[in-house]
A and B are shown apart, each in its own frame.
Chain A
């Protein structure tokens, strides 16, 4: 892969898209002395501190751990025999419908949207840094945080509920959530580069499109990140998938998630390269 873009081989996040675009679309002359991979470290470091420094990260953490809380209540509280079926329902209707998209929404829009809102993004934009790398660093940090939070939550909740009776199901749910959270964060990072109302737009997508329209019209499922995640979860769970089973094959889900993530990255980098800092006065 020739200089510039994040290569899938180096992806530090499990499930990071196989098809990352080959180079950020920057309007640069070949000789332009613009920095690339060498500044990823400082950018990632800055983004991490920015994300961890904001109070909303605590909220996101609590949100992400909600399934664990529910699992604990179910296991300890009822003495009720927690079955794999209950676990599937929890995963389908809570984790993949609400937790994963909302965690990704807050992380994705905070990673760069907050810097655009408060004006600190100017300090990044006035540097000879390829815009694709700024977007990539934001997606990397938000995605990694999302994977860590949602992954832990699904794994712990899954093991609490089905113990080791259905390891395939737990693994499937884990990978499905990871794939979904990566695609979601990429989309939401890009959304906040394109619009100052990314949070609203993101909520509209999650609640209206995925929550409502896509659940009624099966044809629109191919345009739903949630469905990609569920397809991957069902594919890995195999016979243990039960009601999680999907019309969309796992390979299709994976490829589409990778395409969505890559396109989101490309659009984000493209937009940031032509980004105008409005500062009235």
Chain B
């Protein structure tokens, strides 16, 4: 695939989207440049709505979304520059993958026999299965077929809604490598995910959306630090809760501790040091740890913390 030039920019300015009384997206502003940007947030946070706004499939209730200065909504010409991989598994089940990607090429006005179809299928490693009907495809394969269809015209902006859903680990790694490679060619890649590790692995920049608002944005390491520096709680089950608790109480990293019903709850303000210290303390006390579970490690609690900051 050829490098994309000149630099394409996406600008989202004070965008809001509401349906009647329900606010899906509230006053969000950000800009996108070539590279991979991850859109992170819990389910129902408005990620899909935001991506649909960027892709010109929804009209902003307020604010504006532009690609290279042109509003994306109501202008089919924008799809010369933009490709969208929707989350919904909606495909034409009666088409083969090749037909599906060819349809996309035709509707993009690509000349017949330009090789774009084969190239796109090869990029997502579907060449061997390309002549099977999409109805027979697994979820991950359908996902890749949709990516091929969105890539066939070499778009400068690629928007993907939960692209890793339904993929096995190998496909996931391949898709991550693909997104990186596409970004290295100078493309603007924006993808959504509710899984922190996915975003961490592939995105250079992160937008965190919670309840329709932009809770944080910027470099991933910065956001990661915000997320790991917050107070953490762990629940432990050990051979001797009382003995371990005695040792833990003396440590500066431990900010709180309760034990009851054969269960030890520990709060720490320094996640990294605590996780290094705990095994040493347990060994020294001759205590076996049967179970160590983060008590509040759900992504929602991470987002809650970010929003409250």
Contacts and interface: CB of A to CB of B under 8 A. Distances in A.
A130 B84 contact: no
A279 B108 contact: no
Interface residues of A, number: 38
B86 A27 contact: no
A123 interface: yes
A276 B109 contact: no
B48 A128 contact: no
Contacts of A32: 75-77
A131 B49 CA distance: 22
Contacts of B87: 279, 281
Interface string A23-66: 00011110011110011011100100110010000000000000
A35 B107 contact: yes
A120 B109 contact: no
A33 B77 contact: yes
B77 A120 contact: no
Q: Which of A32, A33, A38, A122 has the most CB of B within 10 A?
A: A122
Contacts of B137: none
Contacts of A280: 24, 44, 48-49
Interface of A is mostly: loop
Contacts of A277: 52, 57-58
A278 B46 CA distance: 12
A128 to B, nearest CB: 5
Given A39-B109, A118-B90, A281-B47, A276 B57 contact: yes
B43 interface: yes
A46 B107 CA distance: 11
A5 to B, nearest CB: 16
Contacts of B49: 279-281
Given A122-B86, A280-B49, A28 B58 contact: no
A50 B106 contact: no
Interface string A180-195: 0000000000000000
A129 interface: yes
A274 B55 CA distance: 14
A81 to B, nearest CB: 48
A34 B109 CA distance: 9
A127 interface: yes
A126 interface: yes
Contacts of A46: 92, 95, 103
Contact of B75 (A28, A127, A279): A28
A38 B76 CA distance: 15
B91 interface: yes
B60 to A, nearest CB: 10
B107 A129 contact: yes
A56 B180 CA distance: 44
A139 B147 CA distance: 29
A47 to B, nearest CB: 11
Given A279-B49, A281-B44, A125 B108 contact: no
10 nearest CB pairs, A to B: A119-B90, A281-B48, A32-B77, A127-B107, A277-B57, A42-B106, A53-B94, A119-B88, A120-B90, A128-B79
Interface of A: 26-29, 32-35, 38-39, 41-43, 46, 49-50, 53, 118-120, 122-131, 273-274, 276-281
Interface of B: 19, 24, 43-44, 46-49, 52, 55-59, 74-80, 82-84, 86-88, 90-95, 100, 103-104, 106-109, 149-150, 161
